[in-house]
Amino acid sequence: MLVLFYVIIVAALGVGIYALWVEEYVIAIAMVFVLFLQVVNILNHNKRRRRR
């Protein structure tokens, strides 16, 4: 599951950089939002694993 989080982060980062390059700022902002959500997911995943 953790690998999937990292794959999504890398994909969102790549799309976000490309969106900035072609000046599609709405898509770039959406990818920053996706990155933020994935970081939150990773932090919550680590907390859940420690509780077990």
CB of 42 within 8 A of CB of 30? no
pLDDT recorded at residue 49: 79
Comparing 52 with 5, the larger pLDDT belongs to 5
Give dist(CA 8, CA 5) in Å, integer: 5
Three-state secondary structure call for residue 23? coil
Q: What is the pLDDT of residue 22?
A: 94
Domain boundaries, the chain: 2-51
**pLDDT, tens digit (0-9, with 9 covering 90-100), for 6-39:** 999 999 999 999 999 999 999 999 999 999 999 9
Sign, CA dihedral 42-47-50-52, equals negative
Q: What is the pLDDT of residue 52?
A: 67
Tokens of 10: 């890398």
Q: What is the pTM of this model?
A: 0.80
Q: Does position 50 have pLDDT exceeding 90, yes or no?
A: no
